[in-house]
Chain A
Amino acid sequence: MDTIDRYLNAVAAQLPQDERADILAELRDLILSRFEAKEEEVGRPLGEEEQEAILREIGHPLVVAARYRKGPDSLVGPELFPYWLFGVKAGLLILLVVQSITLFIHLVTGPANAGQSITQAFHGYFGSALALIGAATVAAAAAEHYGVRPKWLTQWRVKDLGAFGLSDPAAWGAAVAGMETPKAHPAPRKSETWPGGEHLFSLLATGLFLLWWIGLIHLPALGQLGLRGEDATVTGAPIWTRLFLPILIYGLIRLSIDLDGLLRPQAIRMRAVGEAALAAAGLWLTWTIFQAGHWFTLERDGQKAHIAGDWLMLDFDRLRDLADGPRDLVGVAGTLSLVAVWVLALIAISLAWKMFANLWRAARAA
């Protein structure tokens, strides 16, 4: 096999089968023409090194073959890149917040184990961040490959751009502190809204949750709790296994409603009905979780304590004593039980509000 054949074989392996013979015939003619022109110039046959120098000028086989590709030249092209970057930045910030809250709980409940908790948090964050970047890149590459361009890429409106500010951590701080962020112009007048912005953020958050729920993203720090320098293991109660599928379906429906909000921002009524039904399903899930009465188990050195509760714990007096609770396994479980009961109650109130608000929206849009 001579130099030209070796070069062309390397190119051929990268080319689509149906065009391969045609492209190779043309390349072979080009190479032979270049060789002949050089031989004429030097007045003798070319040596192997001279031939290789010409082939190097023509280009590396991978580069030459890539120029014949019909699809996109990059995984994330210049049109999609800003959206990819926003998605990754916002996702990384959400992960950072989740990881920071987890770390905070660990540090508060077991300060002697701070080093290990911080290491676990870093490990968890970087693992999840890589998975997130990979998932975003695969999604963008698929959109590039199939030429998918959702409507919200082109039919956006200035007043719906608020969610995009959330990729700036300073905006989060300002929002939490209740401060107004600096505005370049007076606030736009209220008019019919396009729900694309809110759906984009919800889509990211739900997507991340579902990846974690089905085990594609691991947050190892969530499974352990530091208590006075020793690790306590946190295991889910049987209710989570029982509700695995309903919660997965709930998340997938949430995801599809958000996708619909992005792709068909004007279908307000139908989506409001869907949101109301989903909120009702969320209420049922919350009620079922609450009724189970046992949500997690803390375990250390063979000792177990349940994170569990009932309606009687919805008492403001008990909230006042929250900070003074004992720091042993049973005490921490009691504190977390109280927090869990209140969180479930607030979720139920928020879902009920969402259900009625969306029913009202659907009725008005009719």
Chain B
Amino acid sequence: MAVDPDLFESMKLELRRGSLVMAVLACLRTERYGYTLRQALAADGLEMEESTLYPLLRRLEGQGLLDSEWREEEKRKKRFYRLSPAGTEMLIALTDEWRGINASLDKLL
């Protein structure tokens, strides 16, 4: 029986949702501003809407996982984000968790 494309899309979104925070944290080990971060994520196959990414960046910063700084680049002020020390710790913990889930799933699949 063929896979229902709508159902697949909805389940794929559910699957991706939890991993996007990790992807953003991992990508911000290198300092970036929102637009280049989105491009970097897309280049690695993780497309993300701006309306999701920018509020997520603010939330992560509010949680102390990111640091940010307004700086001028290409004649315009841009807000640069990078992983904070707390963010680095969190990324390590989440990566361990992710690998554990992955190993368990690999045994099942």
The CA of A32 and the CA of B54, in the complex, are separated in Å by: 15
Do B34 and A67 have beta carbons less than 8 Å apart? Answer: no
Could you list 21 A-B pairs, sorted by A, with CB under 8 Å?
A: A25-B70, A25-B77, A25-B79, A26-B34, A26-B54, A29-B33, A29-B34, A29-B77, A29-B79, A30-B34, A30-B35, A30-B50, A30-B54, A34-B35, A57-B50, A59-B49, A59-B50, A63-B51, A67-B51, A67-B55, A68-B54
CB distance from A53 to the nearest CB of B (A): 14
Interface status of B52 (Cβ within 8 A of chain A): yes
Q: A67: which B residues are within 8 A, CB to CB?
A: 51-52, 54-55
Q: CB within 8 Å of B: which of A9-38?
A: 23, 25-27, 29-30, 32-34
Q: CB within 8 Å of A: which of B12-61?
A: 33-35, 49-52, 54-55, 58
Interface status of A64 (Cβ within 8 A of chain B): yes
Main secondary structure of the interface of A (DSSP, over half): helix
Number of inter-chain CB pairs below 8 Å: 38
Do B50 and A23 have beta carbons less than 8 Å apart? Answer: no
Do B55 and A68 have beta carbons less than 8 Å apart? Answer: yes
Q: CB within 8 Å of B: which of A134-189?
A: none
Give A29's nearest chain B residue, CB to CB.
B78
Q: A33: which B residues are within 8 A, CB to CB?
A: 35
Interface status of A108 (Cβ within 8 A of chain B): no
**Count of interface residues, chain A, beta-carbon cutoff 8 Å:** 16
Interface status of B99 (Cβ within 8 A of chain A): no
Q: A58: which B residues are within 8 A, CB to CB?
A: 50-51
The CA of A59 and the CA of B49, in the complex, are separated in Å by: 9
Q: A30: which B residues are within 8 A, CB to CB?
A: 34-35, 50, 54
The CA of A34 and the CA of B79, in the complex, are separated in Å by: 15
The CA of A57 and the CA of B55, in the complex, are separated in Å by: 16
Most chain A beta-carbon contacts within 10 A, residue among B33, B50, B58, B76 = B50
Q: A68: which B residues are within 8 A, CB to CB?
A: 54-55, 58
Hey, which bits of chain A sit against chain B, CB under 8 A? 23, 25-27, 29-30, 32-34, 57-59, 63-64, 67-68
- A sample of 16 more A-B contacts (CB under 8 A), given A25-B70, A27-B54, A29-B33, is A23-B58, A26-B34, A29-B35, A29-B78, A29-B79, A30-B35, A32-B76, A34-B35, A57-B50, A58-B51, A59-B50, A59-B51, A67-B51, A67-B52, A68-B55, A68-B58
CB distance from A361 to the nearest CB of B (A): 48
Top 9 closest pairs, chain A to chain B, by CB: A59-B51, A67-B55, A33-B35, A64-B51, A68-B55, A58-B50, A26-B79, A67-B51, A29-B78
Q: B77: which A residues are within 8 A, CB to CB?
A: 25, 29
Give B70's nearest chain A residue, CB to CB.
A25
CB distance from A219 to the nearest CB of B (A): 44
CB distance from A227 to the nearest CB of B (A): 59
CB distance from A29 to the nearest CB of B (A): 5
Give B58's nearest chain A residue, CB to CB.
A68
The CA of A34 and the CA of B50, in the complex, are separated in Å by: 11
CB distance from B43 to the nearest CB of A (A): 14
The CA of A57 and the CA of B70, in the complex, are separated in Å by: 25
Q: B52: which A residues are within 8 A, CB to CB?
A: 67
The CA of A27 and the CA of B55, in the complex, are separated in Å by: 10
Q: A34: which B residues are within 8 A, CB to CB?
A: 35
The CA of A63 and the CA of B50, in the complex, are separated in Å by: 11
CB distance from A154 to the nearest CB of B (A): 24
CB distance from A21 to the nearest CB of B (A): 11
CB distance from B79 to the nearest CB of A (A): 5
Q: A64: which B residues are within 8 A, CB to CB?
A: 51
CB distance from B92 to the nearest CB of A (A): 27
The CA of A59 and the CA of B78, in the complex, are separated in Å by: 21
The CA of A30 and the CA of B77, in the complex, are separated in Å by: 11
The CA of A26 and the CA of B79, in the complex, are separated in Å by: 7
Q: B79: which A residues are within 8 A, CB to CB?
A: 25-26, 29
The CA of A60 and the CA of B51, in the complex, are separated in Å by: 9
Q: B78: which A residues are within 8 A, CB to CB?
A: 29
CB distance from B28 to the nearest CB of A (A): 15
Q: A63: which B residues are within 8 A, CB to CB?
A: 51
Contact with A along B51-75 (1 / 0, CB 8 A): 1101100100000000000100000
The CA of A25 and the CA of B68, in the complex, are separated in Å by: 14
Give B49's nearest chain A residue, CB to CB.
A59
CB distance from B65 to the nearest CB of A (A): 16
CB distance from A284 to the nearest CB of B (A): 56
